[in-house]
Amino acid sequence: MSAPHAADLKGIVNPGQREYTAAAPRRETAIPLRETGATPLLKSTFLICLVGAALVPAAARPAQGRPGDAVRGKELFLRYCAGCHGEDGRGEAKTFRPSVGNLAVKQLMDQVSDDYLFAVIKKGGAAVGKNAAMPAWGKQIPDQDIRDIVGFVRTLATY
């Protein structure tokens, strides 16, 4: 690329710094301002990716509330979870150190997503950086049953 001609220069902004215009560029030194070299297909693909990137975080947010059947979840909770967490979910067993999670504190439970509760039940406490005494139930309890347990756990947060 050759150096710009005097006709291409609008003026000097600061000593050593030149200001160029695009009004009447010489053909051999000009780069069209709107030309990016992108094909229409590439532009369309970029636009689709941009829109998709904006939508994915909204879709990826975990749903709060009851993802499963809370009535069925209660039966499963009593079978698998109440031994440590108690029937009311308060986890007041004196034999656990550190103590098990109190599932009845609404302020705390509102801070965790259903996906997080699902992961704790499926993968165990150690997998999420919590009490290693919480076992991983993923091999014994099917995913839908875990969702039902999460649905019931959401009903325990009352105070």
Bond preceding residue 40 cis, omega within 30 of 0: no
Same domain, 38 and 56: yes
Beta bridge partners of 19: 11
- Whether residue 40 lies inside any domain: the answer is yes
Torsion of CA 33, 34, 38, 43, to 10 degrees: 140
Residue-wise pLDDT tens for the chain (159 aa)?
555 554 444 444 455 555 544 555 555 555 454 555 556 665 655 556 555 555 544 444 444 444 589 999 999 999 999 988 989 999 876 666 667 888 999 999 999 999 999 999 999 999 999 888 899 999 999 999 999 999 999 999 888
- Whether residue 106 lies inside any domain: the answer is yes
Same domain, 120 and 143: yes
Amino acid identity, position 21:
T
Query: Would the pTM count as exceeding 0.85?
Result: no
Domain of residue 120 covers 70-156
**Total domains, the chain:** 2
**Token pair for 40:** 């229409």
- Whether residue 65 lies inside any domain: the answer is no
- Whether residue 1 lies inside any domain: the answer is no
Cα 45 to Cα 50: distance, rounded to the nearest angstrom: 9
- Whether residue 116 lies inside any domain: the answer is yes
* CB 87 within 8 Å of CB 33: no
Cα 16 to Cα 152: distance, rounded to the nearest angstrom: 72
Q: Other C-beta atoms within 10 Å of 12: how many?
A: 10
Cα 151 to Cα 77: distance, rounded to the nearest angstrom: 10
**Closest listed residue to residue 112, CA positions, set 90, 133, 128:** 128
